[in-house]
Amino acid sequence: MLTGIVFDVKEFAIHDGPGIRTTVFLKGCPLHCAWCHNPEGISPKPQVLHAPSGDRVAGTVYTPAELAWILNAQADIMRANEGGVTFSGGEPLRQARFVAATARLLRGMHILLDTSGYATKGDLRLVVALCDMVYYDLKLIDPAQHRRYTGYDNAPILHNFHVLGGLGVPYVVRVPLIPGVTDTDDNLAAIAATVRGAPGLLRVDLLPYNHVAGGKYAAAGMTFAPPYDEARPLNINTAVFTEAGVPVHVA
Ligand code: SF4
């Protein structure tokens, strides 16, 4: 039987796409970003989180019908507020068949995929075909830097970015600004050059550094040791995008 594993279902989310949304956080991510603020989303297995309020298990297994039933219960509210459902993570494309099967059961809701792009081309195509919008992360264009800070090569991400442009679904490129890492002029200019003129691109969102990124690590029994200076002021250089004719927004 097809099942998926989810570490959170957040209702009434207002930062995960248009309108008021329900966001499904799928467990398991192939990347290991040094700044990840959802460490319980990296392992594909259930995990006990130790919090002052008590222990809880992150990782609930659903069938597509079970998850769709929860999401469809909010359908009227979502539609009335021009919202919908966002599949996030972790990396939702790691469970592409489950996400696709769930999406097919949703009742007329706007569907958004929030992805790192690190997936097979087939999984990207499978899920995007069922979506109304995509949030696509671009972190680092230099392959060595990408390997250093996420643990993996960015070739599949850059390849899939070009595949995405041919799928006819509008998308936003999102850039997490990490001080001294992703926010350098060189990296931002390289991202601007990569997305310039890309078909279907709505805009680039620059996401300011999340200073509570390390908060969940101890609860998950993990260590947060960012190899960069969290206190360094961010370089929020929007000019490289506007000069390239790319709409840009600081989220
Ligand atoms: S892609 Fe997202 S979920 Fe995966 S490790 Fe990076 S920040 Fe965390």
Please tell me the predicted confidence (pLDDT) of residue 190: 98
Nearest-5° angle of CA 71, CA 75, CA 77? Answer: 120
In which domain, by residue range, is 221 found?
Answer: 4-250
Classify 84 in phi/psi space as left (phi over 0), alpha (psi -120 to 50) or beta. Answer: left
The Å distance, Cα 39 to ligand 1 centre, comes to: 8
Backbone angles phi, psi at 186, to 5 degrees: -60, -45
Burial degree of 162 (CB within 10 A; 0-12, 13-18, 19+): exposed
Report residues whose beta carbon is within 6 angstroms of any ligand 1 atom: 29, 31-33, 36, 38, 41-42, 89-91, 116
How far is Cα 182 from Cα 188, in angstroms, rounded to an integer? 7
Backbone angles phi, psi at 22, to 5 degrees: -110, 125
Average pLDDT over every residue of 208-231: 87
> Number of folded domains in the chain?
1
Q: Nearest C-alpha to atom 8 of ligand 1 is from which residue?
A: 36
Q: Which atom of ligand 1 has the smallest separation from the CA of 118?
A: 1
Q: Find residue 4's DSSP bridge partners.
A: 62
Please, which pLDDT band fits residue 116 given cuts at 50, 70 and 90?
A: very high
pLDDT tens by residue, 117-159: 999 999 999 999 999 999 999 999 999 999 999 999 999 999 9
- Give the closest residue to 140 by CA, choosing from 128, 132, 151: 151
* 121, 159 Cβ separation under 8 angstroms: yes
Average pLDDT over every residue of 78-98: 95
pLDDT at position 185 over 90: yes
The Å distance, Cα 241 to ligand 1 centre, comes to: 24
Please tell me the predicted confidence (pLDDT) of residue 213: 67
pLDDT tens by residue, 17-57: 999 999 999 999 999 999 999 999 999 999 999 888 889 99
* 220, 47 Cβ separation under 8 angstroms: yes
How far is Cα 133 from Cα 113, in angstroms, rounded to an integer? 7
CATH number at residue 43: 3.20.20.70
**pTM, entire model:** 0.96
**3-class secondary structure per residue, 178-192:** CCCCCCCHHHHHHHH
Mean pLDDT of the chain: 95
Q: Which atom of ligand 1 has the smallest separation from the CA of 41?
A: 3
How far is Cα 91 from Cα 52, in angstroms, rounded to an integer? 28
Q: Which atom of ligand 1 has the smallest separation from the CA of 176?
A: 7
How far is Cα 222 from Cα 108, in angstroms, rounded to an integer? 39
